[in-house]
Amino acid sequence: MLAPRSGSPHRRRTAAAVLFAAFWLLPALSASPASAADTPARGSAHLGMGVVAHDGQQRGSGRAANAAVQTEGVDVSSHQGDVDWPTLWSGGVKWAYAKATEGTYYTNPYFAQQYNGSYGVGMIRGSYHFATPDTTSGAVQAGYFVDHGGGWSRDGRTLPGALDIEWNPYGDTCYGKTAGQMVSWIADFLNTYKARTGRDAVIYTATSWWTQCTGNYGGFAVNNPLWIARYADAVGTLPAGWDFHTMWQYTSSGPTVGDHNRFNGALDRVQALANG
């Protein structure tokens, strides 16, 4: 004869229910704070934010074997605050891009110091827009960019605006868009920027993101200079359509400010891009 089980049937059912709930709820509760902590605040994105996480980082010296003449540049955002431009200039940096805007909800509070400060020490400068294709249309964001520091002037020292289109730091990698939708969004931005400024914008991206999120579309290469992101000793494979890169972000750990770049040519080629 079996010994009687301790406790009433009701108590045993209640205990089992509590254990079952704890089994399923505890992992979810412990995961939620970490997930929230991993999502940065809107407006905090910057050029190359996702490069290390998605593409990794090799040496990133920017000095490939048998490299042609290249001209050093930097890119900055609110993360750098007020930038020490004289030190960068004396260290050989000749051009710079500063983040102006993101989406239609953010302007860089340090933009004036960064954009005008680089110009003041003699650099050729430009501004960039961090794209968020899941918030508003490409045309609306291009207009916001131009109205908040993304314009172009024929002064010989202002580079055309750059569209930073890369991994979404706030959610879905491709911003919830199909490859065709992403290409249309980018075209909308580029066409509006050209209509507003008379210049073709630079496209900043990484080959792996471009391949995944645009289907490796090659149609922009005819008009839009390529600024490629890869933290290694060579640019590697470029997105479809581009036979060469114009600029290369090769590291996020350079001197004075982290993000350093090489222009694919001597200083006179940087000036030529500024002059259109």
Per the model's pLDDT, the better-predicted residue between 174 and 54 turns out to be 174
Which member of 72, 102, 164, 259 is catalytic?
164
- Kindly report the average pLDDT of the chain as a whole number: 86
Helices 138-145 and 179-197 pack at an angle, to 10 degrees, of 40
Which member of 102, 166, 200, 259 is catalytic?
166
Whether 166 is catalytic is: yes
Mean of the pLDDT values across residues 255-264? 96
Residue 69 CA to residue 83 CA, distance in Å, equals 26
Residue 202 CA to residue 223 CA, distance in Å, equals 9
Helix H or strand E segment including 213: helix 207-214
User: What is the reported pLDDT for 48?
Assistant: 66
Identify the DSSP state of 116.
H
Which member of 75, 102, 200, 259 is catalytic?
75
Summarize pLDDT for 111-156 with one digit per residue, the tens. Answer: 999 999 999 999 999 999 999 999 999 999 999 999 999 999 999 9
Is 51-275 a CATH 3.40.50.300 domain? no
Summarize pLDDT for 155-211 with one digit per residue, the tens. Answer: 999 999 999 999 999 999 999 999 999 999 999 999 999 999 999 999 999 999 999
Residue 272 CA to residue 189 CA, distance in Å, equals 23
Whether 164 is catalytic is: yes
User: What is the reported pLDDT for 53?
Assistant: 61
Residue 273 has pLDDT above 70, yes or no: yes
With beta carbons less than 8 A apart as the criterion, state whether 198 and 188 touch.
Answer: no
> Considering the entire predicted model, what is its pTM?
0.82
**Domain layout of the chain by residue ranges:** 51-275
Nearest to 252 by CA among 77, 127, 40, 69: 77
